[in-house]
Amino acid sequence: MGEVLGIYEANAAAFDHDRGRSLMEKAYLDELLAHLDASRRRVLDVGCGAGDPIARYLIEHGCRITGVDGAAAMIDICAQKFPGMDWRVGDMRHLDLGQRFDAIIAWDSFFHLTAEAQRGMFPIFARHIAPRGLLLFTSGPAHGEAIGELYGSALYHASLSAQEYRSRLARSGFGVLRHVVEDPDCGRHTVWLAQAA
């Protein structure tokens, strides 16, 4: 994880500049928002990056964001853009904020963890979710590891199997609302939306 964070730390400004703003994620964000009434819009963005476009869209739709990222340079950018929100430098694997959220998002972040570290995240999600809260995250399409590339550096990704994700979600008190594998309308992301009991 340290190497992944180092890449994002060293390239935070470039990443913010290059990150697509087309909001291909919009359908999933809108589905999440549809489950949240006006009084239930506290969102934890795990691996928030530089805040665009996901945190921005949620803020524009009345959400109160707590953003956590292991790269301090990313959090600095978020704090400059959205000073009214709560931005924190932290390692998602050890997250213990002492509060619960109406939604948790881990978009293109959770999948940088090893399979074993991902398994350890489900109890952390459960500790931070409010009753009937939503969990939205991306994974790989199947069990395995993959090495991508970002700004000339090798970038690690891993995934559990769909069956194991379902099992671990269920054990942590989440029911799957939606699971789309390599969505062609969303940059071939594999997306999960689950709801706590």
Confidence (pLDDT) at 38: 85
Confidence of residue 145 (pLDDT cuts 50, 70, 90): very high
Confidence (pLDDT) at 20: 84
CA distances from 53 to 39, 59, 112, 197 (A): 23, 10, 19, 29
Backbone angles phi, psi at 126, to 5 degrees: -60, -35
Confidence of residue 34 (pLDDT cuts 50, 70, 90): very high
Confidence (pLDDT) at 2: 63
Confidence (pLDDT) at 107: 98
Strand stretches in the chain, DSSP E: 42-46, 64-69, 86-89, 101-106, 129-139, 144-150, 153-159, 174-183, 189-196
Predicted confidence (pLDDT) per residue in 4-24, tens digit: 989 999 999 999 889 989 999
Mean pLDDT of all residues in 21-45: 95
Confidence of residue 3 (pLDDT cuts 50, 70, 90): confident
Confidence (pLDDT) at 143: 97
Amino acid letter, residue 29: L
pTM: 0.96
Beta pairing class for 129-139 and 144-150: unpaired
CATH for 2-15+27-196? 3.40.50.150
Instruction: Note whether 157 and 164 are within 8 A (CB).
Output: no
Amino acid letter, residue 157: H
Backbone angles phi, psi at 135, to 5 degrees: -125, 120
Confidence of residue 1 (pLDDT cuts 50, 70, 90): low
Mean pLDDT of all residues in 153-178: 97
CA distances from 136 to 48, 170, 172 (A): 13, 15, 14
Instruction: Note whether 152 and 123 are within 8 A (CB).
Output: no
Mean pLDDT of the chain: 96
Closest C-alpha to 103, from 76, 77, 71, 67:
67
DSSP element (H, E) containing 121? helix 115-128
Q: Give the list of residues 6+ apart from residue 122 with CB closer than 8 angstroms, or none.
A: 168, 169, 171, 172, 174
Predicted confidence (pLDDT) per residue in 75-116, tens digit: 999 999 999 999 999 999 999 999 999 999 999 999 999 999
Q: Which sequence spans correspond to the domains of the chain?
A: 2-15+27-196
Tokens 């979710």 locate to: 129
